[in-house]
Amino acid sequence: MGDRDKSRVLRIELLWLDEASNDTRPLPGAVMLTFLLCLVWYAVLILMKHHEVGFVGLNDPIKIHVLACLTSYVFFPTCLALSLYYNETFFRKHLELPTEATTATWLLMVWISAAFMLLAATIFNATEPNSIGIVGMVFSILYAAVKFTTNVPECIGMMTCSTAVTFALVFASVHYADRIRDALA
C-alpha cells in the first residue's frame, strides 16, 4: 500500500470517527421497557395493597412489600439511565445548552427520581425505597455544592438551600404518610 493510499484510509477513518462522535445512539429498548414495566408494576402493587385486587397468592402484605422494594431497586437505576440519556441527547446535543445547564437538568432529574422513591416508600410503608431516595437527594446536594461553587461560603449556602428543600420533602413524606396511604385506600 502506498503513502497516498494510507493517507486516504486515514482521512476516511478520521471522517468516520468525526461523524460517529456527532451521532446520538438510540436508547436501548430494554431500558425504556424496564421503566414502563416498573411503573405498571407499581400501579398493580398499589391496587393489590389497597384494594385487595391481584394475582392468586400475592395478596399477602409481606409479598407486596418485598415486590415493591425489588421494583425500587430496578426502577431507580433505570431512572438514572434515562436521565443521563435524555440529558445528553436532548439538552446537550439538541438544545445545545452549556455544561452547567445540562448538569443542573441532570441533577433535577435525579432529584425527581429520588422524590418518586420517597413517594413509593410512603405508599408501601417501606424503608428501602426511602433509603434510595434519601441517598439520591444527598448525592444531588453534595454534587451541586461541589460543582456550582468556587469557595466555602458559597458551598455552605448551596448545601443549606438544597438541604432545606430536601428536608421539607422528607418531613412531608414522614408526617403525612398515613394520610397518603389512607387516601389511596
For 64-100, what is each residue's pLDDT tens digit? Answer: 899 999 999 999 999 999 988 888 888 878 788 888 8
CB 72 within 8 A of CB 115: no
- Structural domain total, the chain: 1
Sorting pLDDT into bands at 50, 70 and 90, what band is 174? confident
| 123 within a domain of the structure (yes/no) | yes
| 144 within a domain of the structure (yes/no) | yes
| 8 within a domain of the structure (yes/no) | no
| 156 within a domain of the structure (yes/no) | yes
- The residue whose grid cell reads 432545606 is 164
| 94 within a domain of the structure (yes/no) | yes
Burial, 118: exposed, middle or buried (Cβ in 10 Å; 0-12, 13-18, 19+)? Answer: buried
Range of the domain at 40: 27-184
* pLDDT higher than threshold 90 for residue 35: yes
In angstroms, the CA 185 to CA 171 distance is 22
Q: 125-140: per-residue pLDDT in tens?
A: 888 998 898 888 888 8
SS3 content of the chain, % helix, strand, coil (to 5): 85, 0, 15
CB 65 within 8 A of CB 126: yes
| 60 within a domain of the structure (yes/no) | yes
| 85 within a domain of the structure (yes/no) | yes
CB 35 within 8 A of CB 68: no
- Supply φ then ψ for residue 83, to 5 degrees: -65, -40
Burial, 133: exposed, middle or buried (Cβ in 10 Å; 0-12, 13-18, 19+)? Answer: buried
Of the two residues 7 and 65, the one the predictor is more confident about is 65
| 5 within a domain of the structure (yes/no) | no
**Residue 162: which of 91, 97, 104 has the closest Cα?**
104
* pLDDT higher than threshold 70 for residue 19: no
Of the two residues 39 and 105, the one the predictor is more confident about is 39
Q: How far is it between the farthest Cα atoms of the chain? A: 79
